[in-house]
Amino acid sequence: MSKTTVEDIEVNGKKVLLRADFNVPLNINTGAISDDSRIRASLPTIKYLVDHKAKVILCSHLGRPRGRVVENLRMAPIAQRLSQLMGLPVSTASDCVGQEVESKVGTLKEGDILVLENPRFHPEEEADDANFARKLARLADIYVNDAFGTAHRAHASTVGVAKYLPAVAGFLMKKELEVMERLLHNPERPLACLIGGAKVSDKIELLQNMLRRVDMLLVGGGMAATFLKTQGYEVGYSLTEDDKLGLAKKLLQEAEEWKMPFLLPIDAVVAEEIKAGAPTRVVPTTNIPSGSHIVDIGPQSIELFYSELRKCRTITWNGPMGIYEIPQFAQGTRSIASFLSTLNATTIIGGGSSAEIVQEMGLTDKMTHVSTGGGASLRFLEGVTLPGVEVLLDKK
């Protein structure tokens, strides 16, 4: 990796502003953390700083308060859970900037941990306001970004603060970048990219960039309907993007010219209504009823995908194969997740809904890498430079 990391600098006795991604899901009724995997993911960096006698000042957003104070999006539950995981006291601040916070930082001893209040309570955070970034920077001597999940956002705490402090990567950021860089530039082949989700428009750049790099492309989910329609097939009421039919046709043509397998579902689960309990049936994708919706890939498609993925040494997956939020339409997605967990291959799950499914099924440890950043990993694989990475110091 070309960026400087926390191991490359002296942190002993330094005040370190550590940008983490603690944007964890909360139970809407109790406010309890329902999945602490993002907190756990940053523990190696936090422990390293504590062990090397840094004064750790943690900064993370939580939810989307949109520039105002939202009581159930305060950072206190995060600090409490972090304290339990670390086995150390973790204090909190009443804000993330200002004189009171600066005074509290001034009392920190080596190895202490302070969690700042949610920076998104200030509209200046998402606006990457320079004055707000300077106030954050005044709290510390060094900036460490371990929040890969927000590295595609140009906010004050991810980009702006790096203009005023030496900025380096934490261990989670380093791991994510190394995995994604290897996937793009030096994967073990054959390399397959499995893409799902609702819309082609959400994955245009990913499709275009990966088409040039992979040995096999497999498409499921709602976006498959657009590709089927461009081939002249009936897709019923399934969501399609008519303004993307030309692009879909071009992608299929390019794959054919390069003799690169581009697999679409050969059968589908269809329903007349998208709701739990709706009657379903399996039909060939060449014979979708006009009054139905495609809600999942069918069993023959699952077997086809299995047979092709078995040939691969590296597989990256981004996006569900059907409307997985409704359990009866989630069989394709869950089957793919289970299958990938059994392979003797490098399996990289691209964050977002794919990561949530893998975590929910308890398969995280059976995958090579499950990204903590859905949007960030998607942008990286599109070939885009992430703002939160670009501002980090290059290795000398």
The residues assigned a catalytic role are 38, 199, 352, 375
Within 13 Å, how many C-alpha atoms sit on residue 108's CB side?
Answer: 31
Residue with tokens 């077997």: 303
CB 145 within 8 A of CB 160: no
User: Taking Cα atoms as reference points, which of 115, 74, 108 lies closest to residue 92?
Assistant: 115
- Residue 201 is given by DSSP the state T
How far CA 20 is from CA of 40, 164, 295, in Å, comes to 11, 18, 36
- Does an H or E element contain 370, and which? strand 369-370
How far CA 117 is from CA of 94, 100, 165, in Å, comes to 6, 12, 20
What is the SS3 assignment for 46? helix
What is the number of residues in the chain?
396
User: Taking Cα atoms as reference points, which of 179, 207, 204, 181 lies closest to residue 193?
Assistant: 207
What is the SS3 assignment for 294? strand
User: Taking Cα atoms as reference points, which of 312, 320, 281, 278 lies closest to residue 299?
Assistant: 281
CA quadruple 154, 155, 161, 167: dihedral positive or negative? negative
230 φψ region: left (φ > 0), alpha (ψ -120 to 50), beta (else): alpha
CB 297 within 8 A of CB 331: no
- Does an H or E element contain 76, and which? helix 76-86
